Amino acid sequence: MASHEAGSNSKLHFVLVHGSGHGAWCWFKIRTLMETSGYKVTALDLKGAGMDLTDPNAVYTFEEHNQPLIHLLSNLTNNQKVILVGHSAGGLSLTYAIHHFGDKIQMAIYVAANMLKYGFTTDEDTKDGLPDLSRFGDISELEYALGRDNPPTSSKIKTKFQREILYHLSPIEDSTLASMLIRPSPSRAFSSVKFIPGPISDEVHRVFIKTKHDRVISREQQDAMIYRWPPALTFDIESEHSPFFSAPFVLFGLIVKAVETNVDMVMLQR
């Protein structure tokens, strides 16, 4: 498992989960703000992503792609809980975790992320959760490791489109760095993601942070996912798809606010 950890005396442990094509590196601003504020932080590289050396073309299932998160949650002790923060396709990892490890999760925070209770089970799930980037033209670099007669095994947004689609409000140096680090995403791992809710899935507090200028997951898609599986809290942020670059201080503040609000809600329920 490729991961980057920092300990602190705080009881709060944040686990940051990246989206498609990204890695733990995309959280560097948020991780810095969290660690300097005394929180414990783990930023994961999912399998075939970031600094994990696995060829994404060889990652065939979502469980395999998600293995670093599964490993982390499986090794928590009975009294340990974490706060998951997932971006974009990382939301699928959060939902998987909620269904399989609900007792290990203090809160799940979706940042412009796929929040589909059952995964891609229906046409409505696809409409609400799958980005439609066709208006930008031919944007994808596809690889066919199993031959052209089979579906692509990995995909990546072409470099010339990355800033326009992912980072148009971010500092140019951040989007330049990202263009050097983005890797192909394991397409087959996402091709049939379906979930069966666990026994305490709906007891896990969820928060959704909506990005108001998103060109990947539209506001309409975000609102539809919120409507169909309502979280405990929602926040808006003036950002494109990548608030960890374009609005890190605001994003950090909203994450902390979500946790503090959740603590207050739990106290009121007692």
Residues annotated as catalytic (active site), given as ranges? 88, 214, 241
Alpha helix ranges (H) inside 13-53: 28-36
Distance, in Å, from the CA atom of 257 to the CA atom of 246, rounded to the nearest integer, reads: 19
The H or E element that residue 259 is part of is helix 248-269
Residue 270 tokens read as: 């007692």
Residue pair 227/240 in contact (Cβ under 8 Å)? The answer is no
Distance, in Å, from the CA atom of 129 to the CA atom of 88, rounded to the nearest integer, reads: 10
Q: Is the dihedral of CA 230, 231, 233, 236 positive or negative?
A: negative
Q: Map tokens 């929602």 to a residue.
A: 234
Residue pair 82/106 in contact (Cβ under 8 Å)? The answer is yes
Distance, in Å, from the CA atom of 60 to the CA atom of 213, rounded to the nearest integer, reads: 32
Residue pair 14/34 in contact (Cβ under 8 Å)? The answer is yes
5 has which bridge partners? 42
Residue 108 tokens read as: 């799940």
Q: Would you give the DSSP letter of residue 119?
A: B
Distance, in Å, from the CA atom of 255 to the CA atom of 249, rounded to the nearest integer, reads: 10
